[in-house]
A = this chain, B = another copy of it.
Amino acid sequence: MNQAASTGDKLILAAIDLIAEQGYDGTTTKEIAAAAGVSEVTLFRHFGSKQSLLVAAFERYHYAGEMTKLFNERLTWDVRTDLLLIGRTYHAIMNRNRKLLAIAQKGGSRLPEEVHKHASQHPVQLKKLLTNYFSTLHEQGKIAPIDPEITAMSFMWMNLGAFSSNLLESSNSDVTLDTFIEQSVDLFARALAP
């Protein structure tokens, strides 16, 4: 079943782990090769350069299609239910891409541009989807007439802040992430009640 990872994959995974922790400039090709359990020459034989290795990592492991699919297929038009699903999905996606996002955030002097392009797609798209969602809810008379764009930004940024914060210090408090999502959705549902 679980066939051994290929040399290329081992290198990509090691690169993601190390660069996410130490930054692009702070991680050497020798370290990456050692962590992957291969020699440094093998790294260059496979990817040619440190930059191409990182680009390959992003192309292989960065995906963002779930949100659009969710908005097209799984909405119930009940505020509480939908926001809960959106919030949970948001954190699931972000968490899965956590390391790649950390890499983009930290930057680096010779860090390839592809990295930033990949990382900046999410928020723009989500804001549009959420704004449309709140607009429609208002047209349906299900929520009070509050600016849909502001509402979308508030919800999005609240979850981005929660995510960034948990990223840094996981043992921040005794409130678990899921409790926070549930309760904050409640808060929004109250605010939007017609």
CA distance A171 to B168 in the complex (A): 26
* Interface check A146, CB cutoff 8 A: yes
Residues of B within 8 A of A160 (CB): 157, 160-161, 164-165
* Interface check A120, CB cutoff 8 A: yes
* Interface check A48, CB cutoff 8 A: no
Central interface residue in A26, A156, A165, by most chain B CB within 10 Å: A26
Name A's B-contacting residues (CB within 8 A).
Answer: 22-23, 25-26, 105-109, 120, 123, 127, 144, 146-147, 149-151, 153-154, 156-162, 164-165, 168-169, 173, 175, 179-180, 183-184, 186-188, 190-192
Central interface residue in A123, A149, A158, A159, by most chain B CB within 10 Å: A158
**Min CB gap A90→B, angstroms:** 11
Residues of B within 8 A of A23 (CB): 23, 25, 106-109
